[in-house]
């Protein structure tokens, strides 16, 4: 590879002049600038970004911690991140944490070893409090999709409480009284918020909250299937299943059908996220649409703003949701008992 010295030699100028000709053309006379550019072209010079970044101390890399890229919603978020990062000259270092804390810590350390400038995490159970204290330095971090309570950190999120409330209201309006919620892992703030929204709606409608209708899943198709199977086996089964993501809803739909029930006549199922498969489920899934790509781009832009010193406070950006009504939800069946 040709370097700046080759160009300087060919153009008959110093390396400083070459650098200036490329970085601050105004400081260089037209004549030399032309010479330099010609030389650059002739030797096919491309600045060694490794060197540039080493010198500047900025890697222009962003670590992205994602629990699992296999999740369709996350895939969309990542897609949005990618686009935004590329537009601003940054690259993404993708890290599939598999929800493993050791792995998360290991990846977060990339920021401290100058492999990346900052970090974005999706669905964080574990804020990097420990890590920060240990090193003493603050980790430039942005949180997406899930709030971190304990740490003031720029965040982009949905009003999960309001969204869950809206969906629950939708089901209540259809006459459902026994609405089960297939939620996420117990400790997740995201799940906590959605459960809160669910309860808000129940309370407002004067429907009693039943702990046994709350079933923890893990956002996979299988877990939705299992949850639905167990909920339907209850002595007094629910007439509606509100799932915290579409994968679980699609899994639940299969379980419901296997029990010989018809959707939405016998039971309603609702999801969350509006992944592409939602519209192709049978019946098509009623769900909450989230602007997934926008989550990604916003998170990236927030992080870049943070890194480049344009952020004074830690903003919380709230993106809008939309309830998409499809055929998987319908009027509650007539009471039989």
Contacting residues toward a second copy, per CB under 8 A: 1, 44, 46-51, 53-54, 57, 59, 61, 68-72, 75-76, 78-79, 82-83, 86, 91-96, 103, 109-110, 112-115, 135-137, 220-221, 225, 247, 250-251, 253-254, 257, 276-277, 279-280, 282
Of 43 and 311, nearer to a second copy (C-beta) is 43
Site for DNA in 54-113 (CB under 7 A): 54-57
Among a second copy, DNA, none, what binds residue 288 when CB lies within 5 to 8 Å by partner kind?
none
Query: Minimum CB separation from a second copy for residue 59, in Å?
Result: 6
Residues 17-46 that bind DNA (CB under 7 A): 17, 19-20, 22-23, 26-29, 31-33, 45-46
5, interface contact from DNA, a second copy, none, CB < 5-8 Å by kind: DNA
Q: Round to whole Å and give the CA distance between 296 and 302.
A: 10
Binding partner selected for residue 186 from DNA, a second copy, none, CB under the kind-specific 5 to 8 Å limit: none
Torsion sign across C-alpha atoms 103, 109, 115, 117: positive
Please identify which residue in 38, 52, 129, 318 interacts with DNA, judged by CB under 7 A: 52
- Least Å from the CB of residue 45 to DNA: 7
Closer CB to DNA, residue 36 or residue 300? 36
Spatial neighbors of 206 by CB under 8 A, at least 6 apart, are: none
15 part of the interface to DNA, by CB under 7 A: yes
Give the residue with the Cβ less far from a second copy, 69 or 205. 69
CB of 132 to a second copy, least distance (A): 13
Shortest distance, position 26 Cβ to DNA, whole Å: 7
User: Which residues in this chain contact DNA in the complex, by CB under 7 A?
Assistant: 1, 3-5, 12-17, 19-20, 22-23, 26-29, 31-33, 45-48, 51-52, 54-57
């Amino acid at each position: 590879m040709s370097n700046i010295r080759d160009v300087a030699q060919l153009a008959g100028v110093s390396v400083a002049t070459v650098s200036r000709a490329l970085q601050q053309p105004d400081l260089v006379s037209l004549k030399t600038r032309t010479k330099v550019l010609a030389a650059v072209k002739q030797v096919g010079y491309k600045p060694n970004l490794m060197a540039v970044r080493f010198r500047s101390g900025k890697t222009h890399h962003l670590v992205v911690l994602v629990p699992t890229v296999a999740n369709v919603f996350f895939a969309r978020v990542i897609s949005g991140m990618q686009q935004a990062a590329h537009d601003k000259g940054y690259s993404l270092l993708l890290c599939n944490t598999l929800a493993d804390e050791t792995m998360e810590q290991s990846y977060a350390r990339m920021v401290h070893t100058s492999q990346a400038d900052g970090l974005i995490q999706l669905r964080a159970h574990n804020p990097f409090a420990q890590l920060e204290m240990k090193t003493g330095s603050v980790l430039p971090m942005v949180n997406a999709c899930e709030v971190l309570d304990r740490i003031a950190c720029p965040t982009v999120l949905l009003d999960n409480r309001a969204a869950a409330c809206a969906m629950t209201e939708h089901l209540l309006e259809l006459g459902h009284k026994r609405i089960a919620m297939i939620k996420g892992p117990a400790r997740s703030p995201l799940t906590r918020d959605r459960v809160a929204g669910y309860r808000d709606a129940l309370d407002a409608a004067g429907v009693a909250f039943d702990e046994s209708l709350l079933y923890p899943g893990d956002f996979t198709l299988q877990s939705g299937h299992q949850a639905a199977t167990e909920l339907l086996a209850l002595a007094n089964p629910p007439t509606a299943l509100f799932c915290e993501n579409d994968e679980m809803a699609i899994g639940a739909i299969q379980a419901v059908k296997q029990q010989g029930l018809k959707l939405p006549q016998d039971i309603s199922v609702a999801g969350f996220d509006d992944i592409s498969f939602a519209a192709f489920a049978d019946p098509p899934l009623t769900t909450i649409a989230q602007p997934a790509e926008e989550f990604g781009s916003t998170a990236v832009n927030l992080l870049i703003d943070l890194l480049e010193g344009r952020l004074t406070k830690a903003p919380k950006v709230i993106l809008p949701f939309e309830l998409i009504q499809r055929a998987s939800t319908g009027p509650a069946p007539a009471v039989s008992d």
